[in-house]
A and B are shown apart, each in its own frame.
Chain A
Amino acid sequence: MLHFENSAVEIKNLTKVFGEHTVLNNLNFDIPKGKITTILGFSGAGKSTLLKHILGLHKPTSGQINVLDRDLSKMSEVDLREFRQKFGMLFQYAALFDSMTAKQNVEFPLKEFTSMTPEEVNNRAETLLESVGLEEFSHNKLPSELSGGMRKRVGLARALALSPDIMLYDEPTTGLDPITTKMVNDLIVETGEIHKEQQMSSIIISHDVQATLKISDYVAFLNRGNIVEYLPASEFAKSEHPLVQEFINL
């Protein structure tokens, strides 16, 4: 199992039980700073539950999660809410606010959490939308008027608005056509490159093995609430673990 000197997330003996069902089982796992780490696994393996623990949306039944050197279990609800501003998240279907235009979606976190003037907010939103390649004529369109790929771009711009230290991607390419999948993968890599100086860490939850191996630095395989394999992406395909081989060859 991999351990890092400079970790963005440290998970120690994490167990989560819902009723009689153990979803995460004594999990130990480090995620490095400034790298792209992907968590692969079958449906029901506990990936989304793990993501919610990293965000502090779920409390562990036992164990500890340190994010950016802070123990989430010792933080109050108010502190946790403030701390979440260090995260950006791209949802599977972008989760844009459907009553707001693309630009208003990006402006939303800036208006909520910064003391920027309306002009500064406007400029920052436009810069972000341009940086993810959304053309100007789409800035004032509602999410329902945008294609799936465009919505992902806006979702990414919104997630980056507050310059997060950790970017989370929940199934970023599931259900997309090959061209849009490539576009999203390129965006993830570009985003990591652009924010390399601030050591932004990217965590991807995915089923898409081929894309994962292309864009990730490290890949972990989660099965029944436990990490059964955790390797640099270049070595992951050579793993001899039977479940990993089964997953890759599906």
Chain B
Amino acid sequence: MEMVQGRFENFVSGIGRVIIQNINGLGSIFKFMLSFFYWAVRPPIRPRLLFEQLEFIGNKSIFIITLAGSFTGMVMAYQTYFGFQLINVDSLVGPVTAISLARELAPVLTGLIVAGRAGAAMAAQIGTMKVTEQVDALEVMGINSVQYLAVPRIIAGTLSVPMLSVFFLFIGNVGSYFVGTKALAIDEAIYLSKLGDFMFLTDIWQGVIKAFFFGFVVSVIGTYFGFSVTKGAEGVGKGTNLAVVWGMISVLVLDYFLTSFLVQVL
């Protein structure tokens, strides 16, 4: 009986420990976010660092966004066509694909791609700087490391993801248009006219607003896990892994809450 009670106590205290650790972690991320806002508005402003990050997160993601966007649009057109064909509404393939891309697929997939690519890079770069004392070197010089390393990355991520998401949407629609009109033989005029009838600017805005938040969250998580790195190369690997995993989970969870809010206000 005592053994069972002991195991039960261990089980409950184990759960409690995990909950406390996670709350502590959330608190640390929130504190880090506050320090970002504090340092983002203080001089000196370093535009060169911001443009470097915009180039890395935005410009250098274009190829992978082009690939992901075009194939997502093409697959969506196929899948929608085979469903809609059964009830003779295959002419709606264009608008359904476009709305899905605008409201969900473009911002979410862009957020996930940036979390995997740039979020991981942010954590690895800052983590390596942390374990090789480069972050300490900045602090000793009197330069705030959050201001120098995190602020440009977070601002660039927040600005880049909406732009990449709009690009994803455009490329996805091009892919969908070619599959719909060339491979599935939907009439071009009908495809375009239905697209004009059912797709609105609010659909695009919904995606852009979501992408803005995804960009912010992914960059905060990437930089936060970079600064949290300890214990050498193993720590850098662990930090990078956590940045990608939590970046992606955050995009998916945040997507639900943003969707439930935006469908009511837009």
- Which A positions have Cβ atoms within 8 angstroms of B? 55, 57, 80-85, 87, 89, 91-93, 95-98, 108-109, 112-113, 168
Q: Find out whether the CB atom of B141 lies under 8 angstroms from the CB atom of A93.
A: no
Cross-chain contact of B142 among A85, A97, A98 (Cβ < 8 A): A85
Instruction: Give Cα A89–Cα B129 distance, bound, in whole angstroms.
Output: 16
B residues 81-135 touching A (CB-CB < 8 Å):
128-129, 132-134
New A-B pairs, 6, CB < 8 Å, besides A57-B139, A108-B141, A109-B141: A84-B139, A84-B141, A85-B142, A89-B140, A92-B133, A168-B140
In chain B, positions 137-170 with a C-beta closer than 8 Å to chain A are 137, 139-144
Contact B134 A85 (CB under 8 A): no
Distance in angstroms between the alpha carbons of A113 and B144 in the assembled complex: 13
Our count of residue pairs bridging A and B at CB distance below 8 angstroms stands at 46
CB pair A55–B140 under 8 Å, yes or no, is: yes
Please state if B142 and A82 are interface contacts (CB–CB under 8 Å). Answer: yes
Chain B: residues with Cβ within 8 Å of the partner, total of 14
Q: Which of B128, B136, B142, B143 contacts A91 (CB 8 A)?
A: B136
Are A91 and B137 neighbours in the complex by a CB distance under 8 Å?
yes
Q: How far is the CA of A97 from the CA of B148 in the complex (A)?
A: 13
Q: Residue A84 contacts which of B133, B134, B140 (CB distance < 8 angstroms)?
A: B140
Interface majority SS (helix, strand, loop, mixed), chain A? mixed
- Min C-beta distance of A111 to chain B, whole Å: 10
CB contacts (< 8 Å) of B144 on chain A: these are: 81
B142:A84 contact, CB within 8 angstroms: yes
CA gap between A80 and B143 in the complex, in Å: 11
Q: A95-B132, A98-B132 are in contact. Are A89 and B137 (CB under 8 A)?
A: yes
B134 surroundings in chain A (CB, below 8 A): 95-98
Nearest residue in B to A83 (C-beta to C-beta)?
B142
CA distance A96 to B141 in the complex (A): 12
8 Å CB contact of A112 from B128, B133, B140, B141? B141
Min C-beta distance of B147 to chain A, whole Å: 10
List of B residues within 8 angstroms of A98 by Cβ: 128-129, 132, 134
